[in-house]
Amino acid sequence: MEAILLPTDFSPTAKNAAVYAIKLANQLGVKKLVLYHSYEIPLTIDPMAPMQMLEIESLKEASQKNITDFQGELTAFAPGIDMETLSEYGDLTGGLDEVCEKLNAGLVVMGITGGGVLEEKLIGSNTLSVAKHTKTPVIIVPADAGFTPIEKIMLTGDFDKKDTTIPLNPVRDMLSGTGAELFVFNIEEKPDNPDISYAAHTQLAEFDPEYHFSQNKNYVEAINAFALEYKVDLVITVLKKHGFFEGMFSADHTKMLAFHSHVPLMVVQG
């Protein structure tokens, strides 16, 4: 991994995520952090019209100034980190895979703010959309989460299927980079027949994880309770195209987990 990408809107939540990303980069030995801001205007009229062109130029200037100022605010937190900026016109979600590939960024880090029901419907949509659609693993940092060195990682997923497939590379990279202990957490009764989770056990054997099970069907409550009890520093969820966590992600359960997780949440594509 050559870089960590930090999409930002220059808010206090984004600054908190940036400080987290800087300290994570230090732990992982990643030397480059790229601050990224994309901007666009509503396509209400012809984007080539003179007024629209002037508005785009104004947005470009504001974006470049804001991202430079933001970089300056973070300099004190980033000794030894090469911090670059990238500001461009376009849709954040649609263009992020290309940006990550160009920069060889192995992680995307973004902030998210919790709050009331109305607030959660209005904010955070970019973060959730990026996590759902971007191939690069995305770490979502709660607004009140400070950085602690990653020593314990919790992997959650639907591991009671014989055809379970787990994206091992992101898990392996995080474990090797941090030296963390791995806990595998599944919401089900502990199976009497070990063949139920045989596929998961086989794929994860190289990590020598501890396996834990919960019968609590309140996913957010169960995951947060386990993370608190075992002092977990990072939760990893596996997002599948079809299956348990795809359903979770499109429902209120996953949004609640993203908004109300007490520790950073890393989403990887399954």
Contact 235, 264 (CB under 8 A): yes
- Say how far residue 261 (Cα) sits from the centre of its chain: 12
pLDDT score recorded for residue 123: 40
pLDDT score recorded for residue 247: 46
Sign of CA dihedral 108, 114, 117, 118: negative
Question: What CA dihedral angle connects 141, 143, 149 and 151, to 10 degrees?
Answer: -60
Helix axes 125-133, 92-103, angle to 10 degrees: 50
The pLDDT tens digits of the residues spanning 197-245 come to 566 778 889 999 998 888 887 777 888 889 999 999 999 988 765 444 4
Confidence of residue 90 (pLDDT cuts 50, 70, 90): confident
The pLDDT tens digits of the residues spanning 149-181 come to 999 999 987 666 555 678 899 999 999 999 999
Contact 182, 234 (CB under 8 A): no
Q: How far apart are CA 73 and CA 139, in angstroms?
A: 22
Indicate if the pLDDT at residue 251 is higher than 50: no
Task: Compute the chain's Rg from CA coordinates.
Answer: 19
Indicate if the pLDDT at residue 132 is higher than 90: no
Q: What is the mean pLDDT of residues 85-109?
A: 90
Q: How far apart are CA 47 and CA 50, in angstroms?
A: 8
Q: Which domains does the chain have, with CATH numbers?
A: 3-142 (3.40.50.620), 152-269 (3.40.50.620)
- In this predicted model, which residue has the larger pLDDT, 52 or 58? 58
Sign of CA dihedral 2, 167, 270, 145: negative
pLDDT score recorded for residue 67: 95
The overall average pLDDT reported for the chain is: 81
Can you give the pTM of this predicted structure?
0.85
- Helix extents (H) in 188-243: 198-204, 219-229
Q: Hey, what amino acid is at 51?
A: M
Closest CA to 36 of 134, 94, 110: 110
pLDDT score recorded for residue 33: 96
Q: What is the mean pLDDT of residues 74-85?
A: 90
Q: Which residues pair with 71 in a beta bridge?
A: none
Q: Which are the contacts of 99, defined by CB distance < 8 A and separation ≥ 6?
A: 5, 36, 86, 105
Q: Hey, what amino acid is at 186?
A: N
